[in-house]
Amino acid sequence: MVNNEVVLDVRFISKHFGALKAVDRVTFQVNKGEIVGLIGPNGAGKTTITNLVTGDLKKTEGEVYFKMVNISKMQPFQIARIGLTRTYQVVKPLQGMTVEENVLVGSLFGHSDRKNDLNNARKTAHEIMKLVGLDKKKDYKVSNITLPDLKRMEFARVLAMDPELVFLDEVMAGLNPSEVEESMEMVKRIRAEKQLTIVYIEHIMKAVMGISDRIIVLHHGKKICEGLPQEVCDNPAVIEAYLGKKYAKEVLKTYE
C-alpha cells in the first residue's frame, strides 16, 4: 500500500511569534499511502505545523510541496481543493445542521476535478457516512450526537472532499479505550479503502504506535527524531522529551 512516491515535501518551515520559535526549520516527507504519526509533548508545534502546511498560518520561512507543486503561498481553500485537507483538534461542526448536511458541505466544496452537482454530492456524502458508521444518524442534529460521533462526522466531512492526504489532529482525544480501538480500526480501514495518505497527530501512544508506519517527534518546535514506531520508543531523546531527564535516566537503566 505504501510506495516511494513523495506526496508531501515540507522543507525547513518555521513559524516565529516574536521571540518564540513555535516551529523551527522542520523538514520531513510523506510517501503515498503512509500513515505518519506526528507526536510530541504539549506545545511541541504539532498543530502549528498542520496550520502551516494547510495554509491556516503564514510561514516565517520554508516551503511546502504537495505532489511536487509549491503550495506555500496558496490559500487554505485552494490547498483543500487540490486534495490536502485536515480535521481540527477542537471539532468544528456547522451548528443548526444535521450530520448529513455537514458532510454534504464537504462533498459540495471538495476536490475541484470532480462533478460537484447536488445529486453527486449527496451520493458521495451517503457513501462516506456509511463508511464511518454514521449512516443511521444522518438526520440527527449535530447538537444531539456524542463527541465520538462528532469526531467521526468531522472525519466524514473531510473524506467527502475526496482528499489524497489528510492531517488528523487528535481525532481520538476524549474517547474511552473501546472508542479508541474502534477509531483505530476505522482509520486503518479507510486508509485501505480510500487509498488515503494520513499524517496523524495524537497524544494517545497506543493509537499512534498501533497504526503508524513511521513516526516524527517534535519538541520545542524542532524535529528530534524520525523512524519506525519501535525505534522512536527506544530513542533516548524521545524518552527525555516525554519523561524529563531524571526519569529518562531511570528508564534507560533498564536497557543497560
Does the structure show a pLDDT above 70 at 2? no
The pLDDT of residue 256 = 46
Cα-based distances in Å from 222 to 26, 124, 199, 244: 6, 39, 17, 17
The residues facing 175 across adjacent strands are none
The pLDDT of residue 116 = 66
The pLDDT of residue 166 = 97
Nearest partner of 218 among 40, 42, 52, judged by Cα: 40
State what percent of residues in the chain have pLDDT above 70: 91
Q: What whole-number distance in Å separates Cα of residue 28 and Cα of residue 75? A: 21
Does the structure show a pLDDT above 80 at 112? no
3-state helix, strand, coil in the chain (%, to 5): 40, 25, 35
Does the structure show a pLDDT above 50 at 255? no
| C-alpha dihedral (22, 28, 33, 39), degrees to nearest 10 | -40
Mean per-residue pLDDT, 110-119 = 71
Does the structure show a pLDDT above 60 at 253? no
Give per-residue pLDDT as tens, 206-247. Answer: 888 889 999 999 999 999 999 999 899 888 888 888 766 654
Cα-based distances in Å from 118 to 15, 123, 126, 138, 230: 39, 9, 12, 16, 46
Mean per-residue pLDDT, 38-45 = 92
Q: What whole-number distance in Å separates Cα of residue 172 and Cα of residue 15? A: 26
At residue 36's C-alpha, the angle toward residues 188 and 106, to 5°, is: 65
Does the structure show a pLDDT above 60 at 254? no
Q: Where are the alpha helices (DSSP H) in the chain?
A: 46-53, 76-81, 99-108, 118-132, 147-159, 177-194, 205-211, 229-233, 236-243, 245-253
Quick check: 167 and 201 in contact, CB under 8 A? yes
- Provide the mean pLDDT of the chain: 89
Where do the domains of the chain lie, and which CATH numbers do they carry? 6-226 (3.40.50.300)
Does the structure show a pLDDT above 90 at 57? yes
Enter the pTM of the model: 0.89
The pLDDT of residue 245 = 60
Give per-residue pLDDT as tens, 162-199. Answer: 999 999 998 887 788 888 898 899 999 999 998 999 99
DSSP designation for 171? T
